[in-house]
Amino acid sequence: MREEKYKHRVCVSIARETVEQGLAVARGVSSLADVIEIRLDALQRIEVAPFITQLANPLLFTNRPIWEGGAFAGDEEVRIAPLLEAASQGAHYVDLELKAPDSSHQALLEMTNTTSCQLILSWHNFQDTPSKVELVGRLAMIQDKGAHIAKIVTMAHDFHDVLRVLSLQEEAARMDIPLIAFCMGQPGVISRVATVELGGYMTYCAVSESEATAPGQLSVAVLRQIDGLMTVGGEGC
């Protein structure tokens, strides 16, 4: 059932080459992050346990393949293995691509359905933003796959694209599935802030502007500053 108020709203994405670097950066932003995403595909040597045992924040593990904008280029079974480990060892979330093989979907669904870990099924379009009909179709496909949370991210070229993606929250509410949805690119920056105020499950940000893992991604410091300005109460216009 769709939650009334989501506990986790700001996810800081960390993509470092070593576990030691990743842990150090994660500790540095822990007070600003509701969730920390560990981009396993950025690691020279993939390890899951150190993050789970040494970090207190809720963790999201992603091992993004090159065919969806990531860095992992190996065998699919090898790619999925650390996600299965993370789900079984206490991770709050694991991310899997909608376009991943059915065997990967089945394996992670079986694992997450027997643990407290939630499966995020994601779909990214790095070129443009499709029509509303196609976007709703993607959302329906994600739900049909059994995802606990849906994620749809597109490239925005103008405000029409941004509004189309943000309006998906209405459809997600009707379908009763939590949805992460915003746009990449300069026109999409506002959607990264607005999405959580419009029913979105979570938004993503970077440790710093120079470490953004997607076009238009804000730093966590800037996002929190904006969030603080938006929550200041006041009367009048």
Active site positions, annotated: 124, 151
Buried b (16+ CB within 10 A) or exposed e, 85-101: bbbebebbbbbbbbebe
Helix (H) or strand (E) holding 11: strand 10-14
For residue 157, the 8-state DSSP code is S
Residue 51 CA to residue 49 CA, distance in Å, equals 5
Tell me the chain's radius of gyration from C-alpha atoms: 17
User: Could you give the count of Cα atoms lying within 13 Å of 68 in the half-sphere of its Cβ?
Assistant: 20
Residue 207 CA to residue 213 CA, distance in Å, equals 10
Cβ contact 165:191 at 8 Å: yes
- Joined tokens for residue 163: 């509004």
CA dihedral 181→100→34→196, nearest 10 degrees, is: 10
Q: How many CB atoms lie within 10 A of CB 134?
A: 13
Helix (H) or strand (E) holding 184: strand 179-184
Residue 91 CA to residue 111 CA, distance in Å, equals 12
Return the axis-axis angle of helices 168-175 and 132-144, rounded to nearest 10°: 30
